[in-house]
């Protein structure tokens, strides 16, 4: 239920904490089955020339953004496979970043000459704040998380539900941002640390008011992008050699998913209940490529498509995977416009 990679808890009221021991589920490399073959559907566009899939829910509904080459555009959702333009949330443009099982959307409104603001759609748009903010994830209890310029000054991770706002417990540094939330209210994102309040960001998991530093892969920084119901987390982390690797964190251990051969950057952007990670990575030519985890490694996602589809699509990033294995993201079709896609296992 989930956002794309940018450097860049108090548990929300009414959400029961769950023991962190549940993290030890299927996400060890040996427990994840081989990736299946897929079919792909072009989700097309509406109003504008280009589209990007950002998130997918349990029933296969996709949310994202339609836009022109200058990124002026609107949020969208799919309903029965057809794209529906949700408009610009009262601003110049808007983008959906997450969608829950009810089809409710979290995202960001952009205004010319003004700050970006977090928004939430449940049949009508709600502006969550009037200060700089981003909404990046929403769970099935309609709790929205992201980051905002708080009343105490720094940019901080938040959890919002029904008009009530809580700070997410972070690692004690100056700034933080939440990127993912699961059904139990566990929140992940990035935070500066109490030891280095103005220093590098670290990925964190916040559960019942306690924040856990997920560490790095030997370098200075990391950030978490998504969490599944079992507590397995994905994101990206710096390695000792200066490259950035995708990771899967399970029960206290950060598993290094690496990069593509010849590439120096990779990030996991979504993880399903089976521990399958999708995201993006730079290839040897430094071009973004959609990827999927294969054990403790990354595989180019397009290799799972039939030959005729591999000729038509250049898949640039995969931003969402649900528990059925359906995947959404963004790719270039027939060498022309960028379109959102939906992939379904055969």
Q: Quick check: 247 and 256 in contact, CB under 8 A? A: yes
Q: What is the C-alpha to C-alpha distance for residues 108 and 95, in angstroms, rounded to an integer?
A: 6
3-state helix, strand, coil in the chain (%, to 5): 5, 55, 40
DSSP assignment string, 124-163: SEEE--SSSEEEEEE-TT--EEEEEE-TTSSEEEEEEETT
In CATH terms, the superfamily for domain 25-345 is Peptidase/esterase 'gauge' domain (2.130.10.150)
3-state secondary structure of 301: helix
Domains of the chain by residue range:
25-345
Q: Quick check: 226 and 248 in contact, CB under 8 A? A: no
Give buried/exposed letters for 102-119 (b at 16+ CB in 10 A, else e).
ebbbbbbbbeeeeebbbb
Question: Per-residue confidence of the chain (346 residues) as pLDDT tens digits?
Answer: 554 333 323 333 232 333 333 333 443 333 566 778 999 999 999 999 999 999 999 999 999 999 998 889 999 999 999 999 999 999 999 999 999 999 999 999 999 887 899 999 999 999 999 899 999 999 999 999 999 997 667 899 999 999 999 999 999 999 999 999 999 999 999 999 999 888 899 999 999 999 999 999 999 999 999 999 999 999 999 999 999 999 999 999 999 999 999 999 999 999 999 999 999 999 999 999 999 999 999 999 999 999 999 999 999 999 999 999 999 999 999 999 999 999 999 9
Q: Which two tokens stand for residue 269?
A: 């952007």
Strands in 208-242 per DSSP E: 210-215, 218-227, 233-239
Residue 74's nearest CA partner among 131, 129, 119, 133 is: 119
Q: What is the C-alpha to C-alpha distance for residues 264 and 239, in angstroms, rounded to an integer?
A: 10
Q: Quick check: 244 and 7 in contact, CB under 8 A? A: no
Q: Quick check: 169 and 153 in contact, CB under 8 A? A: no
Within a 10 A sphere around the Cβ of 239, how many other Cβ atoms? 17
Q: Which helix (H) or strand (E) element contains residue 309?
A: helix 307-312
0.75 surpassed by pTM = yes
* Per-residue pLDDT, 2: 52
Q: Which residues on adjacent β-strands are paired with residue 63? A: 55, 77
Q: What is the C-alpha to C-alpha distance for residues 206 and 214, in angstroms, rounded to an integer?
A: 10
* Per-residue pLDDT, 32: 60
């Amino acid at each position: 239920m989930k956002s794309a990679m940018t450097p860049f808890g108090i548990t929300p009221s009414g959400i029961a904490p769950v023991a962190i021991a549940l993290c030890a589920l299927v996400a060890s490399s040996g427990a994840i089955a081989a990736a299946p073959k897929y079919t792909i559907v072009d989700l097309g566009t509406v109003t504008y020339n280009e589209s990007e899939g950002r998130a997918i829910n349990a029933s296969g509904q996709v949310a994202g953004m339609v836009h022109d080459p200058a990124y002026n555009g609107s949020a969208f959702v799919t309903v029965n496979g057809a794209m529906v333009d949700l408009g610009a949330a009262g601003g110049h443009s808007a983008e959906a970043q997450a969608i829950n099982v009810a089809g409710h959307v979290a995202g960001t409104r952009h205004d010319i000459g003004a700050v970006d603001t977090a928004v939430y759609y449940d049949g009508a748009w709600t502006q969550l704040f009037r200060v700089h903010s981003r909404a990046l994830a929403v769970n099935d209890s309609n709790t929205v998380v992201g980051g905002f310029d708080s009343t105490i000054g720094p940019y901080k991770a938040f959890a919002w539900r029904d008009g009530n706002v809580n700070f997410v417990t972070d690692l004690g540094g100056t700034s933080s941002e939440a990127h993912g939330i699961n059904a139990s209210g566990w929140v992940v994102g990035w935070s500066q640390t109490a030891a280095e309040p103005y220093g590098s960001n670290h990925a964190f998991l916040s559960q019942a008011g306690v924040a856990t530093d997920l560490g790095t892969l030997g370098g200075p920084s990391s950030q978490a992008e998504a969490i599944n119901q079992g507590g397995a987390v994905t994101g990206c982390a710096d390695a000792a050699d200066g490259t950035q690797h995708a990771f899967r964190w399970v029960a206290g251990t950060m598993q290094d998913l690496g990069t593509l051969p010849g590439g120096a950057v990779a990030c996991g952007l979504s993880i399903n209940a089976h521990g399958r990670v999708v995201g993006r990575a730079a290839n040897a030519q430094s071009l973004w490529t959609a990827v999927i985890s294969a054990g403790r490694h990354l595989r180019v996602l397009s290799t799972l498509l039939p030959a005729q589809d591999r000729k038509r699509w250049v898949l640039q990033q995969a931003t969402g995977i649900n528990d059925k294995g359906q995947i959404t993201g963004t790719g270039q079709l027939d060498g022309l416009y960028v379109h959102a896609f939906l992939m379904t296992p055969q």
